[in-house]
Structure formats: C-alpha cells, structure tokens
Structure 1
Amino acid sequence: MKVAITGGHGFLGWHTACRLRARHGVDAVRLGREVMSDPDRLAEALADVDTVLHLAGVNRAETDDEVEDGNVDLAQAVAAGLDGRPVHVVYSNTIHQDQDSPYGRGKRQASEILRSLPGTTADVVLPNLFGEHGRPAYNSFVATFCHEVASGGSPEVHVDRSVPLVHAQGAAQALIDAARQREDATHLVPGEEHTVTEVLGRVRHFHELYSERGELPDLGDPFAVDLFNTYRSYLFPSAFPIEPQVHEDPRGRLFETARSHGGTAQAFVSTTVPGQGRGHHYHLRKVERFFVVRGEAEISLRRLLHDDVVTFRLSGDRPAFVDMPTLWVHALDNVGDDDLITMFWADQLLDPHDPDQYPEEVRPR
C-alpha cells in the first residue's frame, strides 16, 4: 500500500503518518499546502499512489465562504490530481456534515465529490478530535485549554455541553482501517462523551500535580492517559528537567523519584557503562520518566517526522528527571567517565506482545 496524505503536516495528518510508520511500517507521502495549491505538483505526487487519505480541510477562516469553498476546492483538487485514475480514497469527514453551517456544507459537498470518483471511497465520520500538539484556538477546545493552563492561564467555560471526543491516534487508526479495507463504505467513529467543564477540571488537576513537582495523576483509564499526554505536550521542553527536593544528612541523600496518584505503574533501574546508551525508540501512549541518580547523562529527543533535536544534560550530582513526551524519539547516553545509574518509571506494565515501543534513531544516519 502506497499512501498519500493530504494535509499531511497538519494535526490529524501528522498523527496518522506517525501511526502508519509505527504500527504498519508505511512512510506516507505527506502533501502540504504548497503542493495542494499547485495542480502539476499535486498530480505528480499522486501519480503512483494507490491510496489517498484526504485529511486536508478548512476549519476556520476570516469568512464563511472561505470555510465552505475551501473544503470543496480541496476535494476538487484531489479529483483533478487523480485525473480519472481509480484509487482508494479515504475521507476524514465530520459529525458536523449534516449541519447547515459553512463548515458542514463544505464537508458534505467534498464528500459528494470524492464519492463520484471512479475508484472506491471510504467516508470516515469523525467526532471532535484532541491530542498532542494540536493548535490552540483552531483544532479543538481541548488544545486551547491544555495550552492555556500549561502556560499559566485561567481559561473559562462560557457554554457547557457534552462533547463526543476521540484522541487523534484513535481517529488515525480508524482511517488506516478504512484504507486497508479498500471498499466503498461509511464508517462512523464513536466518541466518548465528556463535558467541557469536566475536561477543563481534569486539565487543571493535572497542572496542580504535575507542573512544578512532576507528580503523576491517576492514569487508570484510557481517556485520562490521552488527555494527560495532550496536556503535557504543551509543557515540553520548557518545563524540564525537574529537580526534586533533596534531603541530605550524614547518612547520605534521599529524594523522591515518582509520586503517582493512581493507575498501574512500573519502575526499574539500569546501569550504563561510559560511552554506551539506551533508547532510540518512541511511544504512542506510554508515560515514561528518566531519572538520573548517579553519573553524567545526555538525553536527546526528536519529535517524530521532524528534524530538530532537543537535548538535556543531567548529572547525579544534581538529581533531576525528564519525562518522555509521546511521539518523540528519545535516547539516553552516558557521557561521563563512570557508570550511569538511571531510574525509569512508566505508567503501564510491560506487555511483551504489545510493548508500545517503536525503534528509530534520534539522529537518523
């Protein structure tokens, strides 16, 4: 399966490309605005793909016409780029498609255009999305709340209501499933109902526990894990490393490495000899902490499908920890002259059959 993703550098496009790589070993062709607006480049990009995930869309714009027409124009661009070649198209539609709004009308017309193509079309109807690295004031109210709370702000709820929510990785898997089935179909992705007030309350609770001391909230249910990973994506890397309070007396030193308020957890310790390292992988869901107890370490991280590398230098002389964000490739290297002692904490027990661990170099060779 050779896949192209329109809107491949956007919120859902990035999550879908990451999941395709992690779970299915597929590196998608990601098409951004420059390619989508150039008919020749778009036709060239689509020339040898057999599956198109059409995720590009317009949620907000300066005028209603830009929202409605923008979604229609993007679908027409895909149709023109395929030039009658029958391929399988998967369309990220929305539960708002039946509303008489610019966004609803635009998404509905786009669906009709794609369904008229000579290949097969899967219409994947998605509820409200949230997840790591969503754009505040654009992708969802969850992104706005998480960003503002993480930044020290005090957002308010003006209209409370129940909202069906699904994490972007869940939406990505639904799109991938529809791509693999390769048939005309409509897939309604269910959302988990949560009120706006509840979501804000949870995010504030995360912030109270985590922002200064790094205490972990109760991660006993999947929604809590997804929301916590979303929230903490707005703290990285500026909030790290975190240095706990150290209690010292003639016997030595004592410091707390992890305090969890509920859920499963697993902790272990490693020694790493000078010049060696660990890691070079990433996680889709796991909350993981690296706590340097003794020695000199460099922790390096790179957001998946990006190039920039973030590094932290930690020393056992000044105990500190860094929590690995989801969908960031990470590694730990001993850069000192003595053995490195590191404690690791994870929110989930290791499942050898599904370890949520995907190998990749932080600095690709």
Structure 2
Amino acid sequence: MLQIEIKSSFVELGNFLRQFSEEGNIKSASVLQNDLFFDEFVNLIELSQSHNGWFTPEHILFSIQSWAKALTEDNLNQWLSNYDFSKIEPKKVGLVLAGNIPLVGFHDFLSVLISGHDVLVKTSSNDQYLLKFLAKYLIAIQPELNSKITFVEGKLEGFDAVIATGSNNTARYFEYYFKDKPSIIRKNRNSVAVLDGTETFEDLVGLGEDIFRYFGLGCRNVSKLFVPKDYNFDNFFKAMYEYRDVIQYEKYANNYDYNKAVFLMSNFQLLDNEFLTIKEDTSYASPISSVFYEFYENLEEITTRLNADAEQIQCVVSKNLIPNSVAFGQTQQPRLWDYADNVDTLAFLNNL
C-alpha cells in the first residue's frame, strides 16, 4: 500500500474531525462517508463520559479539534519530509496505549501506519472506543487499511517491535517482557513552568490552560512551577480564576477535597483558591487539583536542574526564559513533530 494513499486517508480523517467542536457540530456535504459516521460519532462523544468519567465532551472535542488541525496535507508533508520510507519492509508493530487523556495514543497509531508498517493495538480500558471508531472510519475511506490495523483484546503477541506507554512501575514490566524486541518504552513524565514575574495576565491565563486541560491528567500538563524568590502569587490566582468552573466536575471536586485534606492533616503550608491548591515541594508530580512550586535564585540553576532531570520532564513552559520552551497555553497542542519524551518515533520505525 502506497504511503500517499495512507496519507490521503488521514487527511480525509482530518476533514471528518473538523466538523466537531465546542461551538457545535456542523455536517459538511463534502466529507466522505458522513452518512455512515457523523451521527454515530456525535453519539460516541456524548457517551464518552459514561465510559470514562474524566472524558467530558468538552475535553473530547478539544482533542478532536487538535487532531483536526494537525491532519492537513501541509502538516503531514512537513512532518514526513525528513524521512525516506521507500525501502520499508512492513513489520507488525505493537502498541500498548495509555488512557489518561482522550486519544493519547493516536500519534503512535498514525506514525506506525504512515511509515508503512502494520499496527497491533492494545488500548487502555480507560480509552477503548475513540481510536477504534477513527480506525473504522479510515478503513471505510481506504479498505486496504483493514489488513494493516488489528485491535488486540488479550495478550499482545506476534509483533516485531513495540511502543508501550505506562507508569514507572509498568515500564519495568514492559522492559522485561519486550527485552528481545526493538522498543520504545515510555514512563511517567511531568511538565513544568518557569516564571519570572513579568508574565502578563494573558500569559497566566494561558498557563491555566496548561494546568487544567484534561483536569491535569496528561504528561504535558503543568504540575510544577519554578518562581523567583519573593514571587507574589496574587496575579497567578487572579488568572486561575478563569478556570473556576472546573470544580463543578464531581471527580475533580472529590480529588480537590481529598488532596487538600491530606495536605492539611500533614500540616503542609498551602495556598488555596477553593479549586486549586499550590504547595512548595521539590517533586515534579503533583496530585490532581494541586500544583507544586519551588523558588529559584537564578535562571542558570533552573536550566541546569531541568537538564539534569530531563528524563522526568515532558515539556517546559516559559516566556522564552528556558531554551526550547513551549509558549503559555500550548502544551496540549503539540505539532506532529513534537515527539513524546523527545524520542523520534518515525526514525525508530524507519530503522526496523
């Protein structure tokens, strides 16, 4: 199967996804297979929260729109321009997917297929339906993909290589189980923001997006702040107030109440605005509804620290304070070439 045919299928998928947004679902007559798939997808979006309480329609639609923006011919051409897949001999690549945020494994799924390989997918129990639906749409657009896409219910077997995502604990199991195969094993990572006090209100509102999108469950969500000595958090909390409705979601509210109670019983000093607590802590991974922070003396020490801890960091947000940092509000909108853990997935697949 030619790469141009696979790429065309994903462009059509992007056209399909572009119909669905928080502003409303607008059916387009030019989208292929709409009569079969449009209403079914609307129903799936509405039912997603019953499958996973964290998957609200708002967050599902945000993920869908992010992929709709990514899956254009120009973006795909730019992404693929640095690789030559002409000599690929198709292998079976197993994917063990996470389920912390909607469609978190879609990039790996896309990468395997567009590089010319066949994909064996083991979905997370927390995100079983969205990717299967999109695969069904792709097959309807390009029936030859049916032989290249397999969803595995039980044990993952018969693969030539694997990409597996999980916690630090499951990663140890993955490393043992997949030790005889080429693999990418992803572990826990967190994202941080580095502030210097000159941020505008709009910058800090963007930071709120990085904190609260997907309720903070993604590895690209900011869970830790580095702030200068004597930093005043007043402007930070004023900006976070834009996200006050997050406390209306029962699962988030339950986590807020629980984690706040644990902190208070442990006599930790907290700053709190009734839907977010911030706590001084050296760790990177904060619990849901909380963000950790540390003070710093100078930016050089932070740059050195982040370089030393690179394997724990997914991305860094700042106003150009740290090299290669992400702009405020952009962590959950990575480009196709922004690889998880900075591991070039296409290069890995191209070398199999």
> Smaller-chain TM-score range?
under 0.3
TM-score by length of 2: 0.27
Name the structure where strand makes up a greater proportion of residues: 1
TM-score (norm 1): 0.27
In terms of Rg, which structure is larger?
1
- Structure with the bigger RCO (C-alpha within 8 Å, sep 6+) is 2
Higher relative helix content: 2
